[in-house]
Amino acid sequence: MRTKILLVEDHQVLRDGLRSLIDRAGDLEVVAEAGDGATAVTLSAQLRPDVVVMDIRLPRLSGIEATRRIVASVPSTRVLILSQLDSWISVQESFEAGAAGYLVKTSSASQLLVAVRAVHDGQRYVSPEMRESGMNGDLRAESPLNLLSSREREVLQLIVEGLSNRQIAESLGIAERTADAHRGSIMSKLDVHKATDLVRLAIREGLITP
């Protein structure tokens, strides 16, 4: 029996390429696709896939929040995060949300298949290039971003990408006033008072690349 995959990616061209790659593997099958986080949550509840391959940056609901909801509603489903960010903060955030694996988009096609099979088999998977980078838990603990909650790190990611409070609220499925409250809490905890300074801090800590 082939492993059932739900593929979640908002770029159609990339999604088509990933589907073709996965379906050619023989033991894997893409049973559904989603272009946003909210649809991913709905399809997961309906189809109960073995593995969800999930982008982080998605419309309507972020990949992190979608992961959190999928794991809560369908515990048997394993989530593999597929992201352009090679940041240990993003890895930590993904695992806190319940993801079983984290793969950067610069990985090879063969690494994707290895990662899907690994998380399906109950293993925790992180991109080999990140495991070999020399970063470790001690370094992550020293980061000022460690002061933030998982939700606040999600909001910070969207702030540094230039989203407004309304857009952040829509992406995470929260009220706009809640997004504004998170923004204030982030700036207070990090002792930062301008969005430009938040961007500099995020670059320094590896949350985004310049």
Least Cα distance to 153 among 168, 131, 173 occurs for 168
The boundaries of every CATH 1.10.10.10 domain in the chain are 143-204
**What is the CATH number that goes with domain 3-131?**
3.40.50.2300
pTM: 0.68
Residue 210 in this model has a pLDDT that exceeds 70: no
- Rounded-to-integer distance, Cα 153 and Cα 65, Å: 12
Residue % of the chain over a pLDDT of 70: 89
Q: What is the pLDDT of residue 93?
A: 83
Q: What is the mean pLDDT of residues 155-176?
A: 87
Note whether 82 and 54 are within 8 A (CB).
Answer: yes
Query: What pLDDT sits at residue 7?
Result: 95
CATH class of this structure's domain 143-204: mainly alpha
73 pLDDT more than 60: yes
- Measuring CA to CA, how many Å separate 81 from each of 15, 41, 60, 131, 142? 14, 14, 17, 16, 24
| Residue intervals in the chain for CATH 3.40.50.2300 | 3-131
Closest CA to 53 of 78, 25, 84, 85: 78
Query: 139 pLDDT exceeds 50?
Result: no
